[in-house]
Amino acid sequence: MRKPKILVLGAGYAGMMTTKKLSQQLRPDEADITLVNKHNYHYLTTWLHEVAAGTATPNSSRVMISDVVNTKRVQLHFDSVVEIKKDEQRVILENGELSYDYLVIALGFETATFGIPGIKEHALKIENINSSRYIRDHIEFQFARYSSSDEKNEDALNILVGGAGFTGIEFVGELAKRVPELCKEYNVPREKVRIINVEAAPNILPGFDEELVEYAQKSLEERGVEFRIGTKIQKCTEEGFIVGDDHEEIKAGTVVWTGGVQANPVVQQSGFELVKGKVNVDGDLRVPGHDNLFIIGDCSWVMDKENDRPYPANAQSAIQEAETCASNLTSLLRNEDLQDFSFDYKGTVASLGGADAMGTILDDKKLYGMKAKAMKNIIDDRYLFLVGGPKLVLKKGKVKFF
């Protein structure tokens, strides 16, 4: 009898953990498992702000997939997904196509532009290893050009960040650490470089705990970050942002947009209906009307029925969704009942650059400074442990054991 084929698209947090769990739960005679990813490496999306600022290297933030996935059990296919033909159970790739009996879509996010003119064309984005490395190199290029030119363009050293959600805040935190290093290297006075973070809401990190937000803002301002809160970005040009009702221009040589995310464009291009940028899936993580199709991670919303709103879409939930998805796929193959996803919120910790961080853990206990930073490192290393065991923690981990 032909074995069912399971196809997992995307080797991010959701896809990697689904694949790992499936390879542990299913016997080889129960199904073939194939993991499709653009690259032969898995990158740690939650570390990308460090790569973009230049405080971490691209190599420290990625893992070869074949080093952590059981290749005797899982077939690896490195190619880009172009379209999902759900009615024909086929996936079109840049260099071929694959068919499936069961599909897991875990292709992650793209940065949402909300139709703001010029963002797509002119702003840099923290989306993957390459786009983040580009930002790092672009910033360094601005310093190199400034220090070697006779006519100094003072605006060129400014770094403008649009959006003060967690990505924007973690990025400016890393910049606060990196900019003094660059100033020293290129012999540029620190006061010549402005790091400006623009946020439309009345405060940074909208919706997050007030005390922690206050702590983050103060800490970042003390290290030279300027905030423009309650200031909506109207337009992005080659020169910077046009903001507010009076259309003020803020000029910078580096403009980075961290204003929000939506599902990978392949999802919409494949005919899935998007609600607020993502696909609404059922409690068991399947697409309504498609019993063999799961969408998890940043491509979907899962409803928290108790609170009548979607669960947050972040790495924490992507990892947990992967567990439910793998377990439900196993149940489907074994004709057992499926379970609904339930999010076990473990807290939120954000780094603020260097040894600083803040956040909440477990029972909403607040952490600040070095304690929060230590917790953030533990959270990062816990994921490395889940995906690659102690060997990967020793190789790439942030907690130093020696």
Q: Where are the alpha helices (DSSP H) in 163-270?
A: 166-186, 210-222, 265-269
Residue 160 touching ligand FAD (CB under 6 A) = no
Binding range to ligand FAD, per CB under 6 A, among 31-39, 53-61, 183-191, 207-215: 31-39
Select the residue interacting with ligand FAD from 8, 13, 254, 255 (CB under 6 A): 13
**Interface map 266-305 toward ligand FAD (x if CB under 6 A):** x------------------------------xx-------
DSSP tag of 304? E
Cα 211 from Cα 209, distance rounded (Å): 6
Binding range to ligand FAD, per CB under 6 A, among 140-148, 233-241, 315-323, 391-399: 315-323
Cα 295 from Cα 187, distance rounded (Å): 50
Binding range to ligand NAD, per CB under 6 A, among 57-65, 165-173, 278-286, 360-368: 165-173
**Interface map 219-248 toward ligand FAD (x if CB under 6 A):** ------------------------------
Residues with Cβ within 8 Å of 110's Cβ and at least 6 positions away in sequence, in order, are 127, 261, 262, 263, 264, 265
- Tell me the Cα Rg of the chain: 22
If DSSP codes are grouped into helix, strand and coil, which group holds residue 162?
strand
DSSP tag of 123? -
Binding range to ligand NAD, per CB under 6 A, among 12-20, 96-104, 200-208, 268-276: 200-208
Residue 18 touching ligand NAD (CB under 6 A) = no
Residue 310 touching ligand NAD (CB under 6 A) = no
DSSP states of 125-148: E--SHHHHHHHHHHHHHHHHHHHH
Our CB check for ligand NAD shows the closer of 188 and 250 to be 250
Select the residue interacting with ligand NAD from 16, 65, 106, 164 (CB under 6 A): 164
Q: Which of 322, 340, 338, 321 lies closest to 330 in space, CA to CA?
A: 338
Residue 199 touching ligand NAD (CB under 6 A) = yes
Residues with Cβ within 8 Å of 84's Cβ and at least 6 positions away in sequence, in order, are 9, 90, 91, 92, 103, 105, 266, 267, 270
If DSSP codes are grouped into helix, strand and coil, which group holds residue 96?
strand
Select the residue interacting with ligand NAD from 261, 287, 386, 387 (CB under 6 A): 261
The footprint of ligand NAD (CB under 6 A) covers 114, 116, 162-168, 170, 198-201, 206, 232-233, 258-261, 312-314, 348, 350
